[in-house]
Amino acid sequence: MKKHAVVSSRAPRTLGPYSQAIRCGGLVFLSGQLGIDPVSGMLAEGGVRNQTRQALDNLAAVLEAAGSRMDLLLKTTVYLRDMAHFQAVNDVYAERVGQPYPARAAVAVRELPLGAEVEIEAVAAAEA
C-alpha cells in the first residue's frame, strides 16, 4: 500500500518536517492543526473558542484536499493547554463535528506551538 502526502493551500503550512496529512488506502491521518489563520499565519484572536473554530476549519480544508470530509472523521485527539477550556472546546466541537461523533481523546499538555490554546489531530475515512 502506498502512502501519499496531502497538501492544502487553504490550511496553514506545517511548522516542521511533517505532512499536513497522509492518505494510505482508505484512511487519512491528519497532523495536528492549530488555530492558525492560513492567510495571516497568525493564531486566531479571541481566545480558545476562535482557535478551536479555526483549527477545525483547517482540518476540514486538509480533509477536502485528501478526498474526505468532516462527517468521515473516525478519531480525533484534542490537546488543550488548560483543561479549564474543556467545555468551551466541546461547545465549538459539537457545532462543527456532526453525529455520530468520532471517537476522541482530550489531553492537557504543558505547551503548544506558538502559544496556542488548542491543537486537534484526526484520522478519517477517505471517499472511494
> What are the grid coordinates assigned to 40, written together?
495571516
Residue ranges of the domains in the chain? Answer: 3-125
Average pLDDT over residues 46-54: 97
User: Which of 16, 1, 2, 4 lies closest to 68 in space, CA to CA?
Assistant: 4
3-125 maps to CATH 3.30.1330.40 = yes
Mean pLDDT of the chain: 96
pTM for this one?
0.96
**pLDDT of 117 higher than 90:** yes
What 3-state class would DSSP assign to 78? strand
Under the banding of pLDDT at 50, 70 and 90, the label for residue 75 is very high
C-alpha–C-alpha distance, residues 72 and 30, integer Å: 12
